[in-house]
Every structure is written in C-alpha cells, then in structure tokens.
Structure 1
Amino acid sequence: MRRLLSKLGGLAAATMLTLGLAHPAQAADPAYFEFTDITRERAVVRLDDPAKIQHARDLLSGKTDERPHLVGRIVKRQASYNPRWSFHYNPDTVDFFDVAIEVCDATLPYVEDHLDEAGGAFLPGLFWCPWSSRLVREVPAP
C-alpha cells in the first residue's frame, strides 16, 4: 500500500509540475500598424498575436521581406482605430502571405465602394488579401 501511495504521490507531483510549467502563451498588448496598397490609400490593422506583431515589426525594420502582404477576414463596421473606413480586419484572422488567389484581392477604395457585396462572389467568406498591401509604420494605440 505504501508503495502504491508513493507512486501515486510521485505521479501527482509530476502532473502538477508539468501543469505548472505549461503556461499558455501570454497575450501581448495589441499593436497597430498602418498599411497601404497600390492606390496609396492607408488603413490601420490591429494585431493581437505576439508572433504576428513580431513579424510585422521585422517587416518594417527590414529584418525580413517574407510574407509582406496582409490577409484576413473583414468585419463590415468601422473600428475606432480605423475611422476612415466602414470595415476593418478581424484581428483574430489577420495573417501575412506572399501569394494568394485572385478572388480575395481588392484595393482599399474598392472594398469600401463595394462593401455591400462583400461576402458573396466578391470577397467570399469576407476574406480579403490585397496583393499590393504593405505595412508602412507602427502607430500608437488609440
């Protein structure tokens, strides 16, 4: 019996140690980046994921030139940090890419002008991947 309790105690201690070390990744404060496209219009994207924030900063610093364009699902409503436009990227869906399919490509003004059509044949699933998008600078939080 003593042996069984020792084994169970050791197992419990190992489990608690493992759970204690397995902290989920700490969420970073959101970061905001201004981006542009071929029209030279500008908008702001919010990033919440620490790895994506770092990738954005690496793009701006010139540390990398891989995956320079933005992709994500848009929300058809204005965001406080992006007041010029009637839409914004859902921060949970934003990522970066090198090459994407044509069906999600559109400029900032085109998306604004055709927002009522977005989610159908235009920008299916509300996914937007402007091929000419590029980050311009990091901006302060609103």
Structure 2
Amino acid sequence: MQDVHVISFGYLHGDAPDDAHLVADLRDHFLNPAPHLPNLVFPDARVREHVLATPGISALAEALVAAAEALVAGPGTEDVVLAVGCSGGEHRAPTVARDVAERLRGRGHTVDLAHRELRGHADHGQDRGEGRPARPV
C-alpha cells in the first residue's frame, strides 16, 4: 500500500508543492483564526480548537480523506501527496493537515505529516516527530 504524505503550507511563502496530487486551498472559504488568538500558532490547543470548530472544516477534512483513499486504492504505485494551504501556513493549514493525517492513520494508512512553514513540527507517524526536520517540498 502506498504511503500518504500530508503537507501544510502558506501561499504567502510560495506555491503549493509541485508534487502534490491534491491541493486544498483554505484561504477564501475559511477565515483566519479570531483576533482573540493573537500571537498563537499551531500546535497551540486554542488554535486547533478554534479552527476545528469552524463550520465546514470537518466535512472538508473527511472529503480530503476520501479523496486520498481513492488515490491510494488506484493502480498507481507512487505515494500520494496531499497539500493543505492557507495564507501564512501557521493556523488553518497545519490544523487541517494534522486532522486529515490523524483520520487517515485511524483507517490504517501510513502517513507522513510535514508543516512547511513550521520547521520543527514534522510528524512522521511514529513518535509525532517533534523536532525532526520537515520533508523537503
């Protein structure tokens, strides 16, 4: 079975990874976290809770899981790369990327999670990868 690589990123820092098979752009449909969360970024629990409580986020995460599973089920042999982007890559994208990765793992997939704009927060599926370098994108 192919692995799934989930990458969060911020469009203010560059385009989506070239090797992404699926790209979710959160900028226009899901607003930045509320002003009551100044100077907080992922993985702060308050940021995660706020983003995950946003209407539509759970449905989007489930749709991304379904799309990734459809690609994995196909005849291809390449790993599946799913990119989730927002403006800065510090709130919405890493929160949704982590949620998608956790859902995929819960369904038995091997998942590598990297946050392009948050160096030091890579998750390689075993020990949550704290402090390990992110996968090059």
TM-score range, shorter chain: under 0.3
| Greater fraction of residues in strand | 1
RCO (CA 8 Å, sep 6+): is it higher in 1 or 2?
A: 2
